[in-house]
Chain A
């Protein structure tokens, strides 16, 4: 029986995402054919441009960092039953805060102090951005979906205003370069990565994924959070302060998204630039869905979506790179539709197995 349970769990975890990726590939085939190219050639080029050479792989690692953070952000709130659609704005706020602190710190401060301070700033800014929808939901029952969407526009417009009119280097959309808080590129440690944007903040992303797993599945607050996500009324009856759990979940969720900003700011360009990670916030939703809201799944899904993003650039000569934008959206739609469907099917199968077992047991 335990074997069946394990099989069932594996099917639940992997069946829907695999189906979704397969469906996306079929859609991709059709689109590539409309462009008069061969799907096999395009997919081969996509793999060659991402996992086939060190530069491409470095770019995949770079994109994985931000997507891991925004994926964790969506998943953490989703585990509490909330939809944080605001990672886009929280990510920008986190990146801005890291750059601001890096600008204010004197150049003489050693990296071991400056980097953690900048990281903390990004998480605090992201967390504060998440706290607004959190408190509106917990205190006033305002839909966190709408508030986070609207707040995306508000945060981005405010940041654009502050940067454009007070901090930008003339003729650009970015601030001056920071004095302190640089994180080394992978290229400076492993020369094969030279030229790619991959940097050591990927280690921070992996650590924070482990932290999120520990917090969700190994602590009392994580247990409470998941209980609230499954059944808020039952959790409330069981003595869990639901409003407080929701508020904390949104703060942590925002903090994870804000952390994603250090990838570009501390690890790559060393300044804040308008629109530096446009789209990564929304893609985080896809990452969390495919990763089934589990930190390990999110790391794998982030790699997948980073590969697609980078692969789009690799195949641009044959088909428009927007092909991957379509594929990514198809994956989201397919996962969102197949997850409930697969679960219904599995439940049905399980029920019929139980019936069959029962029928065989009775002589």
Chain B
């Protein structure tokens, strides 16, 4: 029973990582650095709450979340693909922009500097056990299948073959008639949708938006992508591993075996170790960050 509870909580914590990481893998596989994940998630969280509050339903919240994610992805595409701006700089600026914009519009919409009012989520508390409630949430299921589905998309479809080619050797792909920019745009948009759903899960799970509520989860998803070496199934495993560490820390909180700050560090330290190549080196797609 304890094991089951542990597993369920791990999955609940992992869902935003799984969704955002799926978006990030898509983005990086077509050659665009996924530094904007955090901003896309936060935009999704805010969109979800706006939609659910004014639309009166979590489903409308999802539509608004995805629209917000697409909007952020379009801005990123405009800067990096059309104007060929540096992807690192744009990614970081996008995150700053979304943090500022959500705060600004939080005050405009709800006249608060910290949080929105309570909104409808999925399931709600009325539907019995917390565990069962979370499995009536469509985003949980979507999170669980996102990375396997992405694997299928990237390795079993013509679109996936072209996408990977664009991320590894865009000149060669272009020679074979692939429209590199259009493909990158599609990859970015898919990334925006998936990452915003990760943010929407957080907001709808807590039934409200709070300032900067993604709290670095976009970067943990990025860490999972690198630790999982850009392979969808390995990335999924990395997300679950990071989530399990967090769950363990929450459940052992009373025991004080290790300071919680050290557990928080696990994803970041593992990523640095993976990049340094101590146990098998993490090598990104060859054309990552290079748009000519």
Stretch from B95-103, B127-135, B176-184 contacting the other chain: B95-103
- A272-292, CB < 8 A from B: 282, 285-286, 289
Q: How far is the CB of A286 from chain B (nearest CB, A)?
A: 8
Task: Say yes or no: is B90 at the interface (Cβ < 8 Å to chain A).
Answer: yes
Cα–Cα, bound, A7→B265 (Å): 51
B92 neighbours in A (Cβ, 8 Å): 85, 282, 285, 332
Partner of A147, one of B89, B113, B275: B275
Task: Say yes or no: is A353 at the interface (Cβ < 8 Å to chain B).
Answer: no
Whether B93 and A158, one on each chain, are in contact in the complex, defined by CB atoms closer than 8 angstroms, is no
Q: How far is the CB of B131 from chain A (nearest CB, A)?
A: 30
Cα–Cα, bound, A282→B268 (Å): 18
Whether A329 and B100, one on each chain, are in contact in the complex, defined by CB atoms closer than 8 angstroms, is yes
B interface SS class: helix
Whether B277 and A85, one on each chain, are in contact in the complex, defined by CB atoms closer than 8 angstroms, is no
Cα–Cα, bound, A289→B261 (Å): 33
By a beta-carbon cutoff of 8 Å, the part of chain A in contact with chain B is 31, 34-35, 83, 85, 136, 140, 142-143, 145-147, 149-151, 153-154, 157-158, 160-161, 165, 282, 285-286, 289, 320, 322-326, 328-330, 332-333, 336-341
By a beta-carbon cutoff of 8 Å, the part of chain B in contact with chain A is 33, 35, 75, 78-79, 83-86, 88-90, 92-94, 96-97, 99-101, 103-104, 107-108, 113, 216, 219, 222-223, 226, 259, 261-262, 264-265, 268-269, 271-272, 275-277, 281, 284
Whether B90 and A329, one on each chain, are in contact in the complex, defined by CB atoms closer than 8 angstroms, is no
On whether A85 and B88 interact (CB within 8 A), knowing A142-B277, A146-B222, A337-B79, the answer reads yes
On whether A145 and B259 interact (CB within 8 A), knowing A136-B272, A325-B103, A336-B93, the answer reads no
Partner of A140, one of B108, B216, B275, B284: B275
Cα–Cα, bound, A120→B277 (Å): 33
Partner of A332, one of B89, B222, B277, B281: B89
Partner of A322, one of B100, B277, B284: B100
Whether B88 and A83, one on each chain, are in contact in the complex, defined by CB atoms closer than 8 angstroms, is yes
Whether B89 and A289, one on each chain, are in contact in the complex, defined by CB atoms closer than 8 angstroms, is yes
A326 neighbours in B (Cβ, 8 Å): 97, 100-101, 104
Whether B268 and A31, one on each chain, are in contact in the complex, defined by CB atoms closer than 8 angstroms, is no
On whether A328 and B96 interact (CB within 8 A), knowing A150-B268, A161-B259, the answer reads yes
Whether A158 and B261, one on each chain, are in contact in the complex, defined by CB atoms closer than 8 angstroms, is yes
Chain B CB count within 10 A is highest, among A34, A146, A153, A289, for: A146
Whether B104 and A323, one on each chain, are in contact in the complex, defined by CB atoms closer than 8 angstroms, is yes
A285 neighbours in B (Cβ, 8 Å): 89, 92
Cα–Cα, bound, A160→B262 (Å): 11
On whether A320 and B276 interact (CB within 8 A), knowing A149-B219, A151-B268, A333-B79, the answer reads no
The list of the 9 closest CB pairs from A to B, nearest first, reads A325-B100, A329-B97, A332-B93, A142-B275, A322-B103, A337-B83, A336-B85, A150-B268, A161-B261
Whether A161 and B262, one on each chain, are in contact in the complex, defined by CB atoms closer than 8 angstroms, is yes
Cα–Cα, bound, A31→B84 (Å): 27
On whether A142 and B104 interact (CB within 8 A), knowing A329-B93, A336-B79, the answer reads no
Whether A333 and B261, one on each chain, are in contact in the complex, defined by CB atoms closer than 8 angstroms, is no
Cα–Cα, bound, A146→B274 (Å): 11
Partner of A142, one of B101, B269, B276: B276
A165 neighbours in B (Cβ, 8 Å): 259
Cα–Cα, bound, A1→B196 (Å): 53
Q: How far is the CB of A327 from chain B (nearest CB, A)?
A: 8
Chain B residue at minimal CB-CB distance from A329: B97
Cα–Cα, bound, A34→B113 (Å): 17
Chain A residue at minimal CB-CB distance from B219: A149
Contacts A285-B92, A329-B100, A333-B85 aside, 13 further interface pairs with beta carbons under 8 A come to: A136-B272, A136-B275, A143-B284, A146-B226, A146-B272, A157-B262, A158-B265, A286-B93, A320-B113, A322-B104, A325-B100, A326-B104, A337-B85
B104 neighbours in A (Cβ, 8 Å): 31, 320, 322-323, 325-326
Chain A residue at minimal CB-CB distance from B39: A329
Cα–Cα, bound, A325→B219 (Å): 20
Cα–Cα, bound, A174→B67 (Å): 42
Chain A residue at minimal CB-CB distance from B275: A142
Q: How far is the CB of A275 from chain B (nearest CB, A)?
A: 12
Partner of A154, one of B75, B113, B259, B268: B268
Whether A282 and B271, one on each chain, are in contact in the complex, defined by CB atoms closer than 8 angstroms, is no
B275 neighbours in A (Cβ, 8 Å): 136, 140, 142-143, 146-147
A323 neighbours in B (Cβ, 8 Å): 100, 104
A143 neighbours in B (Cβ, 8 Å): 275, 284
Whether B265 and A153, one on each chain, are in contact in the complex, defined by CB atoms closer than 8 angstroms, is yes
B107 neighbours in A (Cβ, 8 Å): 320, 322
Whether B96 and A282, one on each chain, are in contact in the complex, defined by CB atoms closer than 8 angstroms, is yes
Cα–Cα, bound, A338→B82 (Å): 11
Whether A336 and B272, one on each chain, are in contact in the complex, defined by CB atoms closer than 8 angstroms, is no
